[in-house]
Amino acid sequence: QVQLAESGGGLVQTGDSLRLSCAVSGRSFSEFAMGWFRQAPGKEREFAILLNWSDGRTSYADSVKGRFTMSGDSAKNTVYLQMNSLKPEDTAVYYCGAGYSVLDPSWGNYHYWGQGTQVTVSS
């Protein structure tokens, strides 16, 4: 059974950095197309960043380009989201998703989700 568990969220100030982790169990994260998504209050879940493990291609939402990066540690079977220069509009619950459609920005096409981790950026 595949399980994802996000961690690392918290309350930070504008301009700070934060690294989120997504621990994957049951299968190797490299078997999946994975991405980080976020959902702000009253808004639909949206993709932030997607990564194709096989060739390193990355897809960024315009709002995070140049500030967010995604990586993985196969030894720990964990995926990371490094967030720099955080802004109040980055405030949301962040989720990692795993599926089979590479670089797919549609959250509905992902099969596995964690419980999410809250990121709050104060101004």
* 22-41 mean pLDDT: 96
Tokens 């990692």 correspond to: 96
Contact 81, 36 (CB under 8 A): yes
- 23 CB burial (10 A radius; 0-12, 13-18, 19+): middle
pLDDT for 54 beyond 90:
no
Written as one letter, the residue type at 64 is V
Closest CA to 112 of 92, 95, 90, 89: 95
**Do 18 and 10 contact (CB within 8 A), yes or no?**
yes
Task: Provide the pLDDT for residue 46.
Answer: 97
For the segment 1-5, the average pLDDT, to the nearest whole number, is: 96
Q: Band of the pLDDT at 59, cuts 50, 70, 90?
A: very high
44 pLDDT tier (thresholds 50, 70, 90): very high
Residue 31: pLDDT over 90: yes
* Gap between the Cα atoms of 107 and 39, Å rounded: 11
Q: What pLDDT is stored for residue 47 in this prediction?
A: 96
- How do residues 65-113 score in pLDDT, each as one tens digit? 999 999 999 999 999 999 999 999 999 999 999 999 999 999 999 999 9
The predicted structure's pLDDT at residue 55: 87
